[in-house]
Structure 1
Amino acid sequence: MISAALLFAFACYTLGLIFNLWRITRGPDAADRILALDTMVINVIALLILYGILEGTAVYYEASMLVAMVGFVSTVAYCRFMLRGDIIE
């Protein structure tokens, strides 16, 4: 039963990634692209967690934490660049 739930969750998050990729390419402005990129990072984190559950190892949980940290920093840096034109003051 857990394998069917994992398969359904993988399909849902993969579909979410595809929709986010579409929003990144077709976004009307930069704010939509930033939000789509941030949501894409969240979907990748969820996929890593699901894969860790499927494999039964804790390595993917640590990888998801690294992706979360890098995703947060990249979102903040991209927002600062869009607002000020420079990342480091």
Structure 2
Amino acid sequence: MTTASLLDAAILVTSAMVLIALLMNVWRMLKGPSVTDRILALDTLYINSIALIILLGLYNGSPLYFEGALLIAMLGFVSTAALSKYLLRGDIIE
């Protein structure tokens, strides 16, 4: 086997593991016993989706996927901070 095919196989196996983690995050977000568990599952969901997009970019060899992952990271951080602030104070903008 060549190095490229080994790298492709490793990326596919890692993508399958990240996909399983995404499914478990969705399950926790839907079933979570409290709102904080659901927010934490949503936070982990966007982090795992970033990992999956980066793996797809590595597999295809395209740098455009990395820009999309960066955009999702920024939006995910802001949304998690806004949801947490809403839970603490009941108001996002003071």
TM-score using structure 1 length: 0.97
- Structure 1: distance between partners of 2:21 and 2:90: 30
Consecutive unaligned residues in structure 2, runs of 5 or more? 1-5
Number of the residue aligned with 1:72: 77
Corresponding position: 1:56 with 2:64: no
User: What CA deviation, in whole Å up to 9, does each residue of 1:23-69 have, x standing for no partner?
Assistant: 00110101111110000010010011000001101100011000000
Partner SS state of residue 86, structure 1? coil
Consecutive unaligned residues in structure 1, runs of 5 or more? none
Corresponding position: 1:17 with 2:22: yes
Number of the residue aligned with 1:43: 48
Instruction: Say what the alpha-carbon RMSD is for the aligned residues.
Output: 0.6
- Structure 1: distance between partners of 2:88 and 2:60: 42
Larger radius of gyration: 2
Letter paired with 1:10: S
How many corresponding residue pairs? 89
Tell me which stretches of 4 or more aligned residues in structure 1 moved more than 6 Å: none
- Structure 2: distance between partners of 1:66 and 1:41: 11
TM-score using structure 2 length: 0.92
Give the fraction of aligned pairs with identical amino acids, expressed as a percent: 51
Number of the residue aligned with 2:92: 87
Number of the residue aligned with 2:3: none
